[in-house]
Amino acid sequence: MLTRLGEALWRSLVLGLLLIAGCYRGDKPKFTEEELAQMPYAVREGLPKCSGGFVLAVGDKTITADEVIESPIITPDGAIVPLIERFRPIAQKNDFEQFREQARGEL
């Protein structure tokens, strides 16, 4: 029968060995040379210019959040206004969750 100290040392030893064995990777890399050769490089050309805002990729085009906000929409009464003008009153009167519910059907 092990004493409390002996039991604690035994558990520590087993835990340490499991940790060392589980973290050991050896010299084996994650990917082979063939797998690395097939991986495409990140696209670094044709990226949008820095605008200081959010940029969305839509198909093969990139648009900024400002372009979305300033894009014209037709209101129910037929007027053409920027998107921000249509939703500003809703955003000012409601919290985010209420705004999201009210604006969801129109976006």
Do the Cβ atoms of 47 and 55 come closer than 8 Å? no
Q: What is the pLDDT of residues 48-103, one digit of tens each?
A: 667 667 888 777 777 888 888 888 888 888 889 888 888 888 889 989 888 888 88
Band of pLDDT at residue 24, cut at 50, 70 and 90: low
pLDDT of residue 25: 62
CA distance 92 to 103: 13
Name the residue among 70, 93, 74, 66 with its Cα closest to residue 83: 70
H or E segment at 72?
A: strand 72-74
pLDDT of residue 53: 72
pLDDT of residue 81: 87
The model's pTM is 0.40
